[in-house]
Structure 1
Amino acid sequence: MDQASIDRYADLVIKKGINLQKGKGVVVLTGPGTYYFARALSKSAYRNGASFVQVLLDDLDVLAERLNAQDDAQLKFSPAFLKALDHEFCAEGWSYIRIDSTEDRLDHPVLDQHKNQVYGKAKREFSEVRSKKLMRDQLAWCVCCAPGNLWAHQVLGEHASAEDLFDVLNPILLLDQPDPQGAWEEKNAMLDRRRDFLNDLHIDRLHFLSSKTDLTIGFTERSRFTGGAALLPEGIRFFPNLPTEEIFTTPDRLRAQGYVTTTKPVNVMENVTEEVRFTFENGKVVDYTAKTGKEALDAFFSVDEGTRRLGEVALVDETSPIAQSNLIFHSILLDENASCHLALGDGYPSTLEGGNALSSDEQLHQAGCNTSLMHIDFMIGSKDMTIIAYTRDGASVKLMEQGKFVF
């Protein structure tokens, strides 16, 4: 990857991803393997008027050592200066960029599962205020990825390089277009049309049906589909994910019935899960099996009650450029945008009419929105997936057949 290409990508994330406003600060979270891109993002942010950029390092190798060396009480500690950073971040309207840790998940010792659960839960509780603001689109944020050699080997084979993977990602990120930022505006217009079609149906429930899935998910009258760019309260647009292909909403936390099977690997509590089958009754996971990663799911479901209910339903069809690549990227950012998916855990108040005004868990629950410290996406889409919408006036509308939208 030449520096000019990296800088072009960084400019896309800064200008279109978080839509940086002059005089605002930026926090970038990266692992060691993608620090080169954090540096490029930081430089681009300063070129585009950032007041300050703080790069935070998430090093799984160091974390593994901490988990081995400390007891549960010690693992719950976070220093006060991080709380102060969160406070300034929220008070001053900073932007947040997270580089998916695809490279570093492949280069660290095994993490103690119990201790990692204790550490992760305490960390999420510590930053709960910031997380809630991000989930409500009250602060600009963007999740992106950056190729490295280890990730390239995982996706493309042992002889592949980071440059080879970047070649694959270029058209997915629309960086192959003469004007990538303009190309994302065109993509957003297409997602807006899909969003509007779904919202105009006034959907009561969706029925997902394939050879491995038979699941019905209900929605409240307040549920609204969204996708592509999001809006800050002051009307500034940003892209929470680059790339993005999904149209999503928050379901009724009490209305999921049937079973569903995952179709792509998902990293849960830093462990890989595969072919997970969830069985739902009255919105709650009552049984689950997995070809791989059952113990990680055990730990996930013990975090809080909200992990057993749905917080998101997202529709993506098989024509997306990520799906057309026929690759498994082992990255939620990319794999979720190649496939319909469900998230267990925290819901998005921003996708409920008037949802951002709801502050307490009780208010959110009454509106049908799930709450949890966790939010993990599980891909369920396939080439034999059919989705039928049942509207509030009693009509049925086929949305997807053989994994492709029919509207």
Structure 2
Amino acid sequence: MDQKLIESYAELIIKKGINLQSGKNVLILTGPGTYYFARELSKSAYRHGATFVQVLLDDLDVLASRLASQNEDQLTFNPAYMKALDYEMCTEGWSYIRIDATEERLDHAELDQAKNQILGKAKRRFHEARSKKLMRSQLAWCVCCAPGPLWAKQVLGQQAATEDLMDVLKPILLLDQSNPGLAWEQKKEMLDRRRNHLNEQGIDTLHFKSSKTDLTIGFTDQARFTGGADSMPDGLQFFANLPTEEIFTTPDRMRADGYVTTTKPVNVLDVKTEDVRFVFKEGKMVEYSAREGKEALDTFFSIDEGTRRLGEVALVDETSPIAQSNLIFNSILLDENASCHLALGDGYPTALANGAMLSTDEQLHEAGCNTSLMHIDFMIGSKDMDIDATTRDGNTFAVMRKGVFVF
């Protein structure tokens, strides 16, 4: 693989993704198959002034062994040093990078789903303070991906190599531009224009309609569309996802009615789901079915009450570079940026005008923002999707026709 290209990609994540400031520390989470990119990120971070970089390995094959070998009490153990790391990250303002586990999802022993739920729930509670900081954009973070041989074959076919997948990702990541950082600033400006236009309208509801979706979602008067770059409290901007094509907001957790069907595969608790149909009534998911992965959804919806309500509504144009590739990447990072999507679970306080003032679950619920230990995106967009908005003063206008923004 082109070493210069990988170095350029790593620099993009460090300079634009987390917008690393000199003297700051960085935590990187990777699987074994993408460790090569974690190394490049680490070296780039040091070149751009990082004081310390910590790389943590997340190995699903080792996880499978732990699940098979331990009882429930053992699975809830989390070492104290990880709590200390979380505390230092939160107080010292570390940046966080997660490389999507595209290789590991294709190379591990079977995971015991019941035990995985126990372990995952304990882990999410253990790291809840850090998670809240990330969800509120109080720490700079970025989710990215890195090509590997297994993922290349999954996406492009058995004859494909890592280099072939990198060739596909290159224009998606704007690494084919002479100045990728500037290209992402221009992308941000385009997303800002769409976001600002919607925010100026005072939207009360969005109606999603396609051949297999008919869903109306409501919003409080505090809801604000955001997207592109996120802003920390001190004004520092970062890209939480690279690539990103979405503008998104936080819906009213009590206002969703109708049905919606997923249009791309989604991994739920490390299990693939397809053709999932959700039925909502007064904000709550009251019925669901799936052609594949129903058992994983059963487990997901038993985690907490918040998994049955919406935490995010995201709009993505079907002309985005990812959508135009006509590929299923089996990576939520890429697939969600090819399609309009909804998230079940935790909402983003940063997408509420008064979000910075909301510190408890009770305050968030009163403001309409959902809370949960989970947040999973489900892609619903398609080339026959129409979206109409109704404003607070009763006007209606088109947002999308046939999956494409009309403005």
For the superposition of Structure 1 and Structure 2, which TM-score range results when normalised by the shorter chain? Answer: over 0.9
Which secondary structure state, in structure 2, belongs to the residue aligned with residue 286 of structure 1?
A: strand
Identity value in percent: 74
Structure 2: give runs of 5+ residues left out of the alignment. Answer: none
Could you tell me how far 1:317 is from its partner in structure 2? 1.2
Aligned residue runs from structure 1 range 300-379, under 5 A? 300-379=300-379
Residue aligning to 2:184 = 184
Residue aligning to 1:86 = 86
Aligned residue runs from structure 1 range 189-268, under 5 A? 189-268=189-268
Residue aligning to 1:70 = 70
Verify: 1:291 aligned to 2:288, yes or no: no
Amino acid at match of 1:250: T
- CA-to-aligned-CA distance 1:106-130 (integer Å, 9 cap, x gap): 0001100000000001000000000
Could you tell me how far 1:357 is from its partner in structure 2? 2.0
Residue aligning to 1:156 = 156
Residue aligning to 1:403 = 403
Could you tell me how far 1:3 is from its partner in structure 2? 1.4
Give the Cα–Cα distance (whole angstroms) in 2 for the partners of residues 60 and 370 of structure 1: 29
Which secondary structure state, in structure 2, belongs to the residue aligned with residue 124 of structure 1?
A: helix
Give the Cα–Cα distance (whole angstroms) in 2 for the partners of residues 356 and 272 of structure 1: 35
- CA-to-aligned-CA distance 1:258-296 (integer Å, 9 cap, x gap): 000000000000000000000000100100000000000
Amino acid at match of 1:245: E
Could you tell me how far 1:356 is from its partner in structure 2? 2.1
Which secondary structure state, in structure 2, belongs to the residue aligned with residue 50 of structure 1?
A: coil
Residue aligning to 1:133 = 133
State how many pairs are aligned: 407
Give the Cα–Cα distance (whole angstroms) in 2 for the partners of residues 376 and 318 of structure 1: 21
Which secondary structure state, in structure 2, belongs to the residue aligned with residue 312 of structure 1?
A: strand
Verify: 1:13 aligned to 2:13, yes or no: yes
Residue aligning to 1:147 = 147
Give the Cα–Cα distance (whole angstroms) in 2 for the partners of residues 356 and 268 of structure 1: 30
Give the Cα–Cα distance (whole angstroms) in 2 for the partners of residues 190 and 289 of structure 1: 37
- CA-to-aligned-CA distance 1:289-316 (integer Å, 9 cap, x gap): 0000000000000000000000000000
Give the Cα–Cα distance (whole angstroms) in 2 for the partners of residues 282 and 75 of structure 1: 36
Which secondary structure state, in structure 2, belongs to the residue aligned with residue 318 of structure 1?
A: coil
Give the Cα–Cα distance (whole angstroms) in 1 for the partners of residues 230 and 31 of structure 2: 26
Displaced runs of 4 or more, over 3 A: none
Give the Cα–Cα distance (whole angstroms) in 2 for the partners of residues 298 and 370 of structure 1: 20
Verify: 1:2 aligned to 2:2, yes or no: yes
Give the Cα–Cα distance (whole angstroms) in 1 for the partners of residues 359 and 233 of structure 2: 16
Amino acid at match of 2:213: T
Give the Cα–Cα distance (whole angstroms) in 1 for the partners of residues 42 and 232 of structure 2: 22
Residue aligning to 1:30 = 30
Amino acid at match of 1:172: I
Amino acid at match of 2:58: D
Give the Cα–Cα distance (whole angstroms) in 1 for the partners of residues 116 and 174 of structure 2: 37
Give the Cα–Cα distance (whole angstroms) in 2 for the partners of residues 322 and 371 of structure 1: 30
Amino acid at match of 2:121: K
Give the Cα–Cα distance (whole angstroms) in 2 for the partners of residues 356 and 169 of structure 1: 36
Amino acid at match of 1:345: G
Give the Cα–Cα distance (whole angstroms) in 1 for the partners of residues 35 and 325 of structure 2: 26
Structure 1: give runs of 5+ residues left out of the alignment. Answer: none
Give the Cα–Cα distance (whole angstroms) in 1 for the partners of residues 150 and 30 of structure 2: 16
Could you tell me how far 1:352 is from its partner in structure 2? 0.4
Residue aligning to 2:165 = 165
Which secondary structure state, in structure 2, belongs to the residue aligned with residue 400 of structure 1?
A: strand
Could you tell me how far 1:336 is from its partner in structure 2? 0.3
Give the Cα–Cα distance (whole angstroms) in 1 for the partners of residues 339 and 262 of structure 2: 10
- CA-to-aligned-CA distance 1:121-141 (integer Å, 9 cap, x gap): 100000000000000000000
Give the Cα–Cα distance (whole angstroms) in 2 for the partners of residues 214 and 331 of structure 1: 26
Verify: 1:390 aligned to 2:383, yes or no: no
Residue aligning to 2:114 = 114
Give the Cα–Cα distance (whole angstroms) in 1 for the partners of residues 31 and 330 of structure 2: 16
Give the Cα–Cα distance (whole angstroms) in 2 for the partners of residues 7 and 91 of structure 1: 30
Could you tell me how far 1:4 is from its partner in structure 2? 1.1
Amino acid at match of 1:255: R
Give the Cα–Cα distance (whole angstroms) in 2 for the partners of residues 403 and 187 of structure 1: 19
Could you tell me how far 1:370 is from its partner in structure 2? 0.1
Which secondary structure state, in structure 2, belongs to the residue aligned with residue 199 of structure 1?
A: helix
Give the Cα–Cα distance (whole angstroms) in 2 for the partners of residues 393 and 282 of structure 1: 22
Amino acid at match of 2:196: D
Give the Cα–Cα distance (whole angstroms) in 1 for the partners of residues 247 and 177 of structure 2: 23
Which secondary structure state, in structure 1, belongs to the residue aligned with residue 49 of structure 2?
A: coil
Could you tell me how far 1:369 is from its partner in structure 2? 0.1
